[in-house]
Amino acid sequence: LDLRAGWTPAVAAFVVAVAYYLGARIGFALTFSPYPLAVLWPPNATLMAALLLIHRRHWMLVFAAVFVAHLLVQLGGHVSFSLCLFWFATNCVEALIGAGCILKMLGRAPDFGRIADVSVFLFCGALLAPFVSSFLDAGCVTLMRASPTGFWDLWRARLFSNMLAMITLVPFLLNCAYRWPGLIGGRLPERPKEAALLISGLLLSGMLVFDVPPQNGVLLGLLFLPLPFVLWTAMRFGPAGSGAAFTLIAFLVIWGSTHGRGPFLTGEASESVRSVQVFLTVFGATLLLLAAGVEESRVSARRLRSSEERFAAAFRHGPHAMLISRKASGMVLDVNARYLSLFGCGREAVVGRTIQELELKPGGDGMGMRLHPGHTPSGEYAETAALAGREVLVASEEVDLEGVACLITSLQDVTEQKRAEESLRRSDERFRLVLRATDDVIYDWDIVGDVLWWNQNGDIFFGAMSDPRPRNFDRWAQSLHADDRQRVTSTLMALLNGTDSICNAEYRLARGDGSHAYVGARGFLVRDERGRALRMIGSLHDVTDRKRADEANQRLAHVSRLAVMGELTASIAHEINQPLGAILSNTDAAEILLNEKDIPAAELRQIIEDIRNDIVRAGEVIRHMRALMRRRELAMQSFDLNRAIGDVLNLASADLGRHRVQVDTEFGPLPAVYGDQVHVQQVVLNLLLNGVDAMAALPNDRRRITLRTQRIEGGWVGVTVADTGPGIASEQAENLFSSFFTTKPDGMGLGLSIARSIVEAHGGTIRAETAATGGASFTFTLPGRPGQAETGRTTKDKEKEKENDNDNRNGCTCGG
Ligand code: ADP
């Protein structure tokens, strides 16, 4: 008894003592007067049931409580105290033998639903314990001369009454205890109507047989009247039901007999008692075994059924399509729901047909055929096959079903899986090919784990042999050029901590051989949902060659300016010489005036004024020269183009004059122009000097250059320099603006290419054409406002312009 329902050992012991006392009272009540022995002696059975239920460590408590109950029972009945003690001892011995042996053999209280447990109980509890203890009991009584009856009579009487008590009460009490919480909860038995019917049948038949006056002469055959009801209980209500039914019958039999009724009163009281005892003992023992047998087969049938149901459910609702077929004929016996849904067919289309008819086509590995009759699968195998357009993985196992060799086949749909594998393979291959096809170094930086991966080109860039590829951020940062490191790492850190996902940068990176390469780096940041940077993937493009070319171009532009300046030196010297000469003669004149008596202050002031003007002019010339010679970036600002061109004409006037070139200007009203004034002036100067060169062969009076400025649509400004020279030969038109293209023996071929670079840097275009009247005409455009270079005129506009020009003139253009 695990003392359920919160019973403490003390409460349990108390309950046992009360049951013991009541049992004794019932025992006394069920004696055949005048025969002194009880037909059935409940206290010992109660004690044995209690020992089976209560843990061994509380047994002493139980014995103590029961001893009190025993004294109360016996001392009221004029029995000597010592006999009372002996009886208590023999009762305890009997319960101890029974419970001890049962617990020893079973390790627990018996389960009356098992034949083995019932057998152990019958042998140890119902036979061995009363058998042994009755010797003690009868011996004591005989020795103390407490009974007129002989030893063997006493022994026999006690043995039978105790056997009957054990068989009748122990199973009943144990079954009640097993179901104790249910019993007090007042739970009705299953099938209450059937139970009520049975109880009424039992009561009625019992009373009819066992509670009738003996002189009525009960037919012996009628003894079996309650039997169907008892068997019915055993079959339908298990050991507990049949135990209760038997207890009821036993009570009726004993009650009837002790009250002088029933079929067992055959004369001698002792014989009647024996007859009742034998009848009930045999009946009870048989019933116990029968109920256990029924219960066992019911439990095993239930187990079998639930296991069958489990397997049937596993087959029917399994995640894979399954099919059972006869091995010999290939006939399909059953398929599951997944099979039908996978292949979209009805059961009748499969069951009853053969595997061959299902057209299971072998996959690449020759599978499918092996399921056909004559191909014995050696155990389990799995290969792919195609069935009704699906690719399936087939696994089959040979089994014996009711003596017939069958195959259980599972078909796992792997169509999607195969597709996914194929697409994965392709994308993998594509990725590898892309990595091979590109010249760029591709990197993948796991920011969290700080691991850098490089593609094959990384080996080439960094050098594969000694594996110097930077594998983490620090190593990579060390490879940066010292001048770039701070800038690049801080930009990168700002990017990681910011929200942008794309980064572009240009920096120098150490190659494997120690030299530095210029790389254009691109990167894409992968962030988690909280915006934390996890990974960066991108490429490094080696731009060293472009960088070098740019630098060379810059140097070239500088050199070309110097060359232009070389040509100008003479005229500049002349320009400066002239004001210097004027200053000298003015100072001479001033000196003479100072020697006069009356110094003419007004004249002197005029002379000083002239000197200042000449100095300012000389300073202007020098400033211009320095501006042109300085190598610098574009300094964009708004300026007055007409004035700037006027300055250029002033600068070149000496040269123009020397070559007898007449310059006509047609300056239109212009908005302010946005650009680098000095560079624009250089363009005009180059075009002017080219015109001068082109007209060298002409007679003096035909050397004319026209300089025209005008506003054109969209706020732009156009400048045209036209000469009267031979114009542009059509075969030269294409190369005119290319660097180093020249037709002059001492030319450098840089003037026009520089001019084009400058105009395009402003967002404008430059073109050359031969006018209908002969002579070359160069026109370039400049923006009127900041930002117009990018937005004002699109490439499309320029293309359109170019087309129009080609249509209208027999010339050539070159646009930016
Ligand atoms: P360079 O003056 O050193 O030759 P440019 O680039 O200034 O270099 O000019 C390239 C070539 O274009 C000249 O050699 C010449 O053949 C041609 N060219 C330039 N301007 C004119 C012009 N106004 N008329 C005819 N041809 C010209």
Amino acid at 107: G
Whether 747 is in the pocket of ligand 1, judged by its Cβ within 6 Å, is yes
Mutate to test the pocket of ligand 1, among 663, 706, 721, 742 (most ligand atoms within 8 A of CB): 742
Whole-number pLDDT of residue 33: 62
Considering 264-268, 347-351, 627-631, the range whose residues carry the highest mean pLDDT is 347-351
* 523 contacts 537 by C-beta, under 8 angstroms: yes
Mutate to test the pocket of ligand 1, among 693, 695, 739, 773 (most ligand atoms within 8 A of CB): 693
pLDDT digits (tens, 9 = 90+) for 552-595: 666 656 655 655 665 556 556 656 777 788 899 889 989 988 88
| Ligand 1 atom 14, closest CA | 742
pLDDT digits (tens, 9 = 90+) for 373-397: 445 444 444 455 556 667 777 777 8
Which run of H or E residues covers position 554? helix 544-595
Q: Which residues contact 642 (CB under 8 A, 6 or more apart)?
A: 667, 670, 709
pLDDT band at 316 (very low <50, low <70, confident <90, very high): confident
- Least confident range of 11-25, 404-418, 771-785: 404-418
d(CA 165, CA 644): 138
- Comparison of pLDDT for 743 and 550, the residue scoring more: 743
* 611 contacts 586 by C-beta, under 8 angstroms: yes
Q: From ligand 1's centre to the CA of 765, what distance in Å?
A: 18
Which run of H or E residues covers position 691? helix 677-694
Whether 742 is in the pocket of ligand 1, judged by its Cβ within 6 Å, is yes
pLDDT digits (tens, 9 = 90+) for 495-529: 999 888 888 889 998 887 778 889 999 999 999 98
| Ligand 1 atom 21, closest CA | 690
pLDDT band at 694 (very low <50, low <70, confident <90, very high): very high
Mutate to test the pocket of ligand 1, among 560, 682, 739, 752 (most ligand atoms within 8 A of CB): 752
d(CA 768, CA 750): 15
| Ligand 1 atom 10, closest CA | 742
Whole-number pLDDT of residue 36: 63
**For the chain, what is the mean pLDDT?**
82
Whole-number pLDDT of residue 410: 83
Whether 127 is in the pocket of ligand 1, judged by its Cβ within 6 Å, is no
* 633 contacts 601 by C-beta, under 8 angstroms: no
* Preceding peptide of 34 cis, ω within 30°: yes
Amino acid at 59: W
Q: Which residues contact 641 (CB under 8 A, 6 or more apart)?
A: 670, 672, 673, 680, 709, 717, 719, 782
Which run of H or E residues covers position 164? helix 151-178
State the closest ligand 1 atom to the C-alpha of 736, by its place in the atom list counted from 1. 12
Whole-number pLDDT of residue 112: 92
State the closest ligand 1 atom to the C-alpha of 750, by its place in the atom list counted from 1. 6
pLDDT band at 284 (very low <50, low <70, confident <90, very high): very high
Whole-number pLDDT of residue 558: 60
Q: From ligand 1's centre to the CA of 751, what distance in Å?
A: 8
Amino acid at 528: D
The candidate with the shortest Cα–Cα distance to 647, out of 617, 690, 615, 668, is 617
Whole-number pLDDT of residue 799: 46
Whether 691 is in the pocket of ligand 1, judged by its Cβ within 6 Å, is yes
Lookup result for tokens 């049931």? 49
Whether 705 is in the pocket of ligand 1, judged by its Cβ within 6 Å, is no
| Ligand 1 atom 18, closest CA | 690
pLDDT digits (tens, 9 = 90+) for 716-732: 999 999 999 999 988 88
Return the number of other C-beta atoms located less than 10 Å from residue 81's C-beta.
10
Distance of CA 441 to CAs 137, 177, 434, 629, Å? 106, 83, 11, 41
Q: From ligand 1's centre to the CA of 692, what distance in Å?
A: 10
State the closest ligand 1 atom to the C-alpha of 691, by its place in the atom list counted from 1. 23
What is residue 331's DSSP assignment?
B
The candidate with the shortest Cα–Cα distance to 135, out of 90, 165, 98, is 90
**pTM of this structure:** 0.49
Whether 743 is in the pocket of ligand 1, judged by its Cβ within 6 Å, is yes
Distance of CA 628 to CAs 370, 417, 623, 688, Å? 92, 72, 9, 16
Amino acid at 720: T
- Whether residue 758 is predicted with pLDDT greater than 60 in this model: the reply is yes
Please state the rounded mean pLDDT for residues 42-65: 92
Three-state SS string across 528-553, please?
A: CCCCCEEEEEEEEEECHHHHHHHHHH
- Least confident range of 39-43, 277-281, 364-368: 364-368
d(CA 172, CA 181): 16
Whole-number pLDDT of residue 217: 55
* 1 contacts 54 by C-beta, under 8 angstroms: yes
Q: What percent of the chain has pLDDT over 90?
A: 28
- Whether residue 802 is predicted with pLDDT greater than 60 in this model: the reply is no
Return the number of other C-beta atoms located less than 10 Å from residue 129's C-beta.
27
- Whether residue 704 is predicted with pLDDT greater than 60 in this model: the reply is yes
Lookup result for tokens 């020279």? 725
pLDDT band at 134 (very low <50, low <70, confident <90, very high): very high
Q: From ligand 1's centre to the CA of 730, what distance in Å?
A: 13
Whether 748 is in the pocket of ligand 1, judged by its Cβ within 6 Å, is yes
Whole-number pLDDT of residue 64: 94
SS3 call for 265: coil
* 645 contacts 717 by C-beta, under 8 angstroms: no
Whether 725 is in the pocket of ligand 1, judged by its Cβ within 6 Å, is yes
| Ligand 1 atom 11, closest CA | 742
- Least confident range of 67-71, 101-105, 487-491, 806-810: 806-810
Burial label, 57 (beta-carbon count in 10 A; 0-12, 13-18, 19+): exposed
Please state the rounded mean pLDDT for residues 144-166: 85
d(CA 627, CA 637): 15
Q: From ligand 1's centre to the CA of 307, what distance in Å?
A: 104
Whether 744 is in the pocket of ligand 1, judged by its Cβ within 6 Å, is yes
pLDDT band at 464 (very low <50, low <70, confident <90, very high): low
- Comparison of pLDDT for 88 and 636, the residue scoring more: 88
Lookup result for tokens 């617990």? 103
pLDDT digits (tens, 9 = 90+) for 179-217: 776 565 555 667 888 888 989 999 998 888 887 776 555
- Sequence length of the chain is 816
State the closest ligand 1 atom to the C-alpha of 690, by its place in the atom list counted from 1. 20
State the closest ligand 1 atom to the C-alpha of 752, by its place in the atom list counted from 1. 6
Q: From ligand 1's centre to the CA of 742, what distance in Å?
A: 6
CA-atom Rg of the chain in angstroms: 62
State the closest ligand 1 atom to the C-alpha of 741, by its place in the atom list counted from 1. 10
Q: From ligand 1's centre to the CA of 743, what distance in Å?
A: 7
- Comparison of pLDDT for 207 and 355, the residue scoring more: 207
- Least confident range of 42-51, 76-85, 320-329, 762-771: 76-85
